[in-house]
A and B are shown apart, each in its own frame.
Chain A
Amino acid sequence: MTSDSLILPQAIGVPFVAGLVLLVKGREMAPWLARAVAWVGFLVPALTALCAWWIFSMHPAGTPIFEQSMTAATPTQLLWRTPEMLFPFERDIGLGFLGLTLKLGLNGLSLPMFVLAGIVGLAAGIYAMNTSVDRPQAYWGLLLFIVSGAMGVFASLNLFYFYFFHEFALIPTFILIGWWGGPGGRAAAMEMTIYLTLGAMLSLLGLLALFFKSGAHSFDLVSMHAWTLPATATVPSGHKIFGLLLFGFGILVSLWPFHSWAPTGYAAAPTPAAMLHAGVLKKFGLYGLLQIAVPLLPGEMAGWSHLLAWLALGNVVVIGLVTLAQRDLKVMLGYSSVMHMGYIFLGIVCVSAMGAGGAVLLMFAHGLSVAALFLLSDAVFQRTRTYDFGAMGGLCKKAPVLSAFFVAATFAGIGLPGFANFWGEFGVFVALWKFSPWMTAAAALGVVISAIYGLRAVSRIFYGEPSPAFQTLFDQPVADLRPGERWPAIILLGALLLVGFWPGLLSRGINESLPTAYQDLRPSGHYVLTLNFISETTAAPTPAAPPAAPKP
């Protein structure tokens, strides 16, 4: 209890309580009160996450943030940072005898995801509160549960709670899709449930096997990691456990060929649910691979990497080409999000600092950009009443701000520099070259493919003259983005641009806390000697080059 911080429980608890209040009492509340409760529920995690980000980047590892206040008698360390993590929180909530103490904390790998969950949650919340739906309070309440679970997943340092929060976030998604989903919502929800439950089951099996076989006899990530740290420690049948985790998490992330739930599910899902699922929940599996599977079973990736790399290439190339054939905006977005997962898998396959860092950056960036795209595509639908490319055209003339945002989000998705996605993709390519140059070349094809479908969508929706079918629709005034649509988009795109221009905001923390499993990767194996020789000669004073290195 000496170093407890209530920051993280608050980020998880407030949306949970708000959601509970809305679900139970929502219909009896005054509308303004319900709205206020929802606002609190969505704002608190987002602000907490941003605050955590700020504190993390201000204070390098190991420095206390508030000095122990007065004397030793009153140890009121409100915020504290241990070498491993920020805001540790540990409490036995009644399951301690099973080794299941609630343990929360953030490190450089989980912080970006925590921030992502907060931001996307806020954007989805604002958007949800500005759309009219049947039984809005229950709708908001379920969304708040998802946010709470997502914050919990990324904050928990205990495998049991990782899994618990994961299910906690997933189940409201099924309900949202089944109840508020568009046509085919029930069937899509069912397919999604079957796949995701299967994935969750496999990963639960893997986690349990890890618990029993590792010998650490604890679900605590930190102590498990400490146990597997010595090079001599090998987990019996680690190969199989890794396989379980890999495919369990893989199904959760729509690894090819277990992806078919994603496009149908997203097409049917209500927009905020699609934003949260595609943006945040889908990253659980990847995060699990990065934070749990690879570090706790060091060396086991080698046995699976080729299979995983081929499947991930299937995501990038095969699904990329399938995306090209889509004629429905929302289905296309669903496929494109499946496609981009391939890059992240490829980053993880390399098991290197560069690959893992690129993967985390890409997870962060993709979450934001896909959420923005789902939001804006719904905004397009609100104005055109169709998702079919063939019937669209010329929207730019009527809604210039919407089209500017959509173009920006599309370019973020296809990895234009200036948006965070670029750094992630580039990092993955650099790391992947070490793994296999040919695979890098094949994966890089995705860069062209995503440009083709992205720009094709933009040109069909926004450019050109309004299509004949639209003409009648457009004779009535079509409003440009309303504030309720504009602000979530600004939040998402702003975060993308910020990290795109200053990727160092995230990379330092990631570097600092990359587990030792991600061994160093030297840029060059060939000319290390040559380089040394050269750097000796260039060490001589150079009159031509002023030493100042300004920050451009």
Chain B
Amino acid sequence: MNLPMLLSLILLLPLGSAVVIALFLRKRGNLAALLSIMVGFTVMALSLYVILTSYNPARTVYPAGSPESSLPSAAMQNWLGMAGPVWAEASHHWLQFGDYVFAMGFHFNNLSALMLLVVSFVACWIQLFSAGYMADDEGKARFFGGLSIFMFSMLGIVLADNLVMLFVFWELVGFSSYMLIAHYYTTDFANMASKKAFIVNRIGDLGFLLGIVWCWDHYGTVRLSELENIIGYHPGLVAGGAATGIGLLLMCGFVGKSAQFPLQVWLTDAMAGPTPVSALIHAATMVAAGIYFLARVFFLLPPFTLHWIMWSGAAMTACAGLWALGQTDIKKTLAYSTLSHLGYMATAVGLGYPQLAMFHLAMHACFKATLFLGSGSVIHACHHEQDIYKMGGLRKKMPITAATFLLASLANCAVPFFSGAYSKDSIISAAYLKGHDEGLIYYGVYALVLFGALCTALYTCRLFAVVFLGKARSEEAEHAHESGASITIPLIVLGLLSLAAGWTVYDWKWAGGLMTGLIPSGCAQVFLGGFSALEHTLEEKGLGHGLEIINVIVVLAGLAASYAFYGRSAAAGDPLAAKSPGAFRVLERHGWFDDVYDWYVAQIQQHFCDVLAALDKLAIQFGGGQVCAGGLSGLAGALLRRATVGSIHAYVYWFLAGVCCYWFFAVR
């Protein structure tokens, strides 16, 4: 089998599984779970196989047959250094009207290899976890069918060779996310959250759609490889109004899917779904797809767009980190943490380092999946209790969960030598470098992301301390015990990865050069170049160690302060809420975005629509339809009715008049 066929197989297996579940296994939850998990592991194995066997270090970076140096733009060379050579390219005409061709195909390079690995690897372990977590759920078949559909859609995004296909799968992940959030559809919260998630995503997709259409019109193509060619040789095209407009509109897709300002409101509500769904879709893969998309079309983004992404990302890093401190729901805390980390990735893209964004994406997928799965294990053990102030002291009762949660927490705070540290610290350093090179105002970005790092340490330590340390605060927590193997095995695998995945940067090659650290070389190439180039620049400017030390100090200070504040409290409520209710409330309302939107929907949109509907009823249906159309025919009827007098003689006169008329007009 050649590479495109293997990729097709990877893409279609989950679809097949979803179809089989929908048609035959609706009432057989266990079989559905088995099928879905088997397909998940097969996809993972196939992806690994593809990445290991098809990677060819000797492959030229740029496929155009011309040397890389012929590219006039340094930015493009930088991008190609990340995306790497194209491993496979295939395209099939799907629909054609006139000169427009919609195609389906693959554009597979290092970047997609990394994303493919992340998605398939995390997904299969989370599916295994779900088998334990959802063991006695009524809608098990529906759940696993939804996961399969999600896998299909997500892999489609990873492999897509053109923007239209990307949009198709982009919408499909939105649908699967909707379906999975609405899993517990009888609760009002899940009901509202699913609707909100889809609609908010659609608002982003509206911009994305227009961006694609404009891009097609402006550049004449939506194929990624052709766009690369055009921009590669004509970097001047990415300037001016149209390019900026296209960049901003394409960015809307990212803003919706990755829940960035101002569309971040859906992500925290999306936690109404089952915990594995939060782990897979709303932390590790789907929300990160926005970042992947930005990296994929990085060359299309003009400076203004990048600035927007950078500032909004940095602000989100800090704000979401703070807001996390105001949550008492374990999953919501983690959701704000996800928002904050997505902010880091966005900042990296905006700074011009998509490599680092992808690096952080991969690391984040490992440790955030672990954190969510750990929270799932805790929730499962506490009989679906999600309030952290009803937990506590779980360290002894759930040792494996606690240990893996600790590993992931440390990675989350970027404690040195844990995976998150490598990627996050390099992003913070890159932000400092921007300020150092380009002016004082960019130190603002550095300050924001550094503050975000402090917040991360604060909320992570708070979470761990309240949930696992101290004493049990409720009956459920008292009687909690460690979950079964199908829950702990994924925890261990992903937990170890959140410790060790980052060691790849030490460039330790094995297996004949196919593996670098714990990551296949083909994938690691994405960020290794960018990472070492940044290190090198920092070294040159004598900044490296200083920044490292500042980061470590901030993290340790945060951890210590948080432990001091939260770790000792045994109260059944948040210490901050007790000491400063006003401040806690500010954090809890997360910037009043939800309130403003709710107010808009209920007070403005609804009233506006009601008025329009009333006008429609009054002016058009009553006025136009009944008065004008009905009135005219009624009037004509009333007049003509007069003519029917019922006397034969009158009719004869009418007849005579008719004959005369005819004579007058026709014969004369």
A→B interface (CB under 8 Å):
190-191, 194-195, 198, 257-261, 264, 318-319, 321-322, 324-326, 352-354, 356-358, 394, 396-397, 411, 416-418, 422-423, 426-427, 429-430, 433-434, 437, 440-441, 444-445, 447-448, 451-452, 455-456, 459, 462-465, 503-504, 507-508, 510-511, 518, 520-528, 530-531, 533-534, 537-538, 540-546, 548-552
* Interface segment, one of B203-211, B362-370, B506-514: B203-211
Given A318-B612, A354-B100: A524 touches B217 (CB 8 Å cut-off): yes
Say whether B206 contacts A548, CB under 8 Å. Answer: no
Cα distance A110–B192 when bound, in Å?
A: 43
Residue from the list A194, A356, A417, A537 in contact with B65, Cβ < 8 A: A537
| CB–CB B195/A456 < 8 A | yes
Name the CB-closest residue of A to B232.
Answer: A534
19 sample A-B contacts, Cβ–Cβ < 8 Å, listed by A number:
A194-B630, A195-B625, A198-B629, A257-B624, A260-B620, A318-B612, A418-B168, A427-B97, A447-B205, A452-B199, A463-B186, A464-B185, A503-B94, A503-B95, A520-B98, A522-B99, A542-B89, A545-B88, A552-B7
- Which residues of A are found within 8 Å of B191, using beta-carbon distances? 459, 463-464
Bin chain B's interface residue count. 35 or more
Q: Across the interface, which residues of A come within 8 angstroms of B621, CB to CB?
A: 260, 264
User: Does B505 lie at the interface of the complex (its beta carbon under 8 Å from any beta carbon of A)?
Assistant: no
- Assuming the contacts A418-B172, A527-B219, A534-B233, asked whether A521 and B65 have C-beta atoms less than 8 A apart, the reply is no
Select B90's contact among A525, A530, A550, beta carbons within 8 Å. Answer: A550
B175 at the interface (CB under 8 A from A): yes
The 3 closest A-B pairs by CB, nearest first: A524-B220, A540-B65, A353-B98
Query: Interface of B with A (CB < 8 Å)?
Result: 2-5, 7-8, 11-12, 59-60, 63-66, 85-100, 102, 104-106, 164, 167-169, 171-172, 175, 178, 182, 185-188, 190-192, 194-195, 198-199, 202-203, 205-206, 209-210, 213-214, 216-221, 225-226, 229-230, 233-234, 237, 605-606, 608-610, 612-613, 616, 620-621, 624-626, 629-630, 633
Whether A448 touches B202, Cβ cut-off 8 Å, given contacts A523-B217, A527-B230, A540-B65, is yes
Query: Are the CB atoms of B220 and A528 closer together than 8 Å?
Result: yes
Chain B residues with CB under 8 A of A538:
63-65, 225-226, 229
With a cutoff of 8 Å between Cβ atoms, the chain A residues found around residue B96 in the complex are: 504, 507-508, 511
Most buried by A among B97, B167, B178: B97
Given contacts A452-B199, A543-B60, A551-B92, contact A321 B221 (CB under 8 A): no
B-chain residues with CB within 8 Å of residue A521 when the two chains form the complex: 98-100
Report B-chain residues with C-beta under 8 Å of the C-beta of A321.
608-609, 612-613
- Cross-chain contact B102 with A455 (CB below 8 angstroms): no
Distance between B29 CB and nearest chain A CB, rounded to angstroms: 13
Residues of B within 8 A of A550 (CB): 4-5, 8, 90, 92
Q: Is the CB of B99 within 8 A of A326?
A: no
CA distance A542 to B186 in the complex (A): 55
> When the two chains form their complex, are residues A545 and B206 in contact, meaning their CB atoms are under 8 A apart?
no
C-alpha gap A322/B175 in the complex (Å): 25
**Given A465-B186, A537-B65, A537-B229, is A544 in contact with B86 using a C-beta cutoff of 8 Å?**
yes
- Give complex CA distance A260, B622 in Å: 9
A325, A422, A459: the one within 8 Å of B613 (CB): A325
| CA A510 to CA B100, docked complex, whole Å | 14
- A548 CA / B92 CA spacing, docked (Å): 10
- Nearest residue, chain B, Cβ from A360: B97
A501 to B192, CA, bound (A): 30
Do residues A416 and B629 form an inter-chain contact, with CB atoms below 8 A?
no
Q: Is the interface of B mostly helix, strand, loop or mixed?
A: helix
**When A and B form their complex, what is the total count of cross-chain residue pairs whose Cβ atoms lie within 8 Å?**
258
Chain B residue numbers with a CB within 8 Å of A451 are: 198-199, 202
User: Which residue of A is nearest B191, CB measured?
Assistant: A463
Q: Are A322 and B612 in contact (CB under 8 A)?
A: yes
User: A353: which B residues are within 8 A, CB to CB?
Assistant: 97-100
> With A430-B100, A545-B88 in contact, is A524–B210 under 8 Å at CB?
no
Q: How far is the CB of A18 from chain B (nearest CB, A)?
A: 34
Given contacts A191-B630, A417-B171, is CB(A523)–CB(B221) below 8 Å?
A: yes
Q: For A453, give the chain B residue with the smallest CB separation.
A: B609
- A552:B12 contact, CB within 8 angstroms: yes
Q: How far is the CB of A443 from chain B (nearest CB, A)?
A: 10
Q: Please, which residues of chain A bring their CB within 8 A of the CB of B225?
A: 538
Q: How far is the CA of A260 from the CA of B619 in the complex (A)?
A: 10
Q: Nearest CB to that of B216 among chain A residues?
A: A523
A358 CA to B98 CA, complexed, in Å: 11
- Whole-angstrom distance from the CB of A526 to the nearest CB of chain B? 6
| Cβ-defined partner of A423 (8 Å) among B102, B203, B605, B606 | B102
**Alpha-carbon gap, A322 to B620, bound state (A):** 12
Partner of A544, one of B5, B60, B230: B60
A426 and B630 in contact (CB under 8 A), knowing A448-B202, A448-B203, A520-B98? Answer: no
Residue of A at shortest CB range from B61?
A: A544
Kindly state the separation between the CA atoms of A544 and B64 in the bound complex, as whole angstroms.
Answer: 10
Q: A464-B187, A507-B95 are in contact. List 19 more A-B contacts (CB 8 A).
A: A260-B621, A318-B612, A321-B612, A322-B613, A324-B606, A411-B175, A426-B164, A426-B209, A427-B100, A447-B206, A456-B195, A464-B188, A465-B186, A511-B98, A526-B220, A530-B220, A534-B226, A548-B4, A552-B11
A324 to B621 Cα, complex, angstroms = 17
B616 touches A322 (CB 8 A): yes
Set of chain A residues within 8 Å of B182, measured between Cβ atoms: 463
State in angstroms the CA–CA spacing of A325 and B610 once bound together: 5
Cα-based distance from A549 to B5 in the complex (angstroms): 9
Q: For the complex formed, measure the closest distance between the CB of A429 and the CB atoms of chain B, giving whole angstroms.
A: 5
CB of B199 within 8 A of CB of A448, answer yes
Closest Cβ of chain A: how far from B250's Cβ, in Å? 14
Question: In angstroms, how far is the closest chain A Cβ from the Cβ of B216?
Answer: 6
What chain B residues lie within 8 Å of A463 (beta carbons)? 182, 185-186, 190-191, 194
Contact of A259 among B5, B188, B620 (CB under 8 A): B620
Check if A523 sits within 8 Å of B100, measured CB to CB.
yes
Say which residue of B4, B95, B168, B606 sits within 8 Å of A325 (CB atoms). B606
**Complex formed: what's the CA distance from A510 to B626 in Å?**
40
Residue of B nearest to A455 (CB): B195
CA–CA, A531 and B227, complex, Å:
10
Provide the residues of chain A in CB contact with B168, threshold 8 Å. Answer: 417-418, 422
Taking a contact as CB atoms under 8 Å apart, the answer to whether B97 and A440 are in contact is no
Tell me whether B620 and A447 are in contact (CB under 8 A). Answer: no
Most buried by B among A440, A523, A551: A523
Please give, as numbers and ranges, the residues of chain B lying within 8 Å of A430 by CB-CB distance.
100, 213, 216
Q: How far is the CA of A416 from the CA of B173 in the complex (A)?
A: 11
Which residue in chain A gives the minimum CB-CB distance to B615? A322
Taking CB atoms, residues of chain A closer than 8 Å to B63 are: 538, 542-545
Contact A534 B616, CB 8 Å, known A444-B210, A463-B191, A507-B95? no
User: How many Å lie between the Cα of A374 and that of B196 in the bound state?
Assistant: 25
Closest to A452 in B: B199
A101 nearest CB across to chain B (Å): 29
| Cross-chain contact A352 with B195 (CB below 8 angstroms) | no
Residue of A nearest to B70 (CB): A537
Closest chain B residue to A331 by CB distance? B613
Q: How far is it, in angstroms, between the C-alpha of A551 and the C-alpha of B104 when the chains are bound?
A: 9
Give the chain B neighbours of A455 by CB distance below 8 A: 178, 194-195, 198-199
What residues of chain B lie closer than 8 Å to A352, measured between beta carbons?
Answer: 98
Contact yes or no, A531 B221, CB < 8 A: yes
Q: In the complex the two chains form, is A545's CB within 8 Å of B86's CB?
A: yes
Q: Which residues of A contact B12 (CB under 8 A)?
A: 552
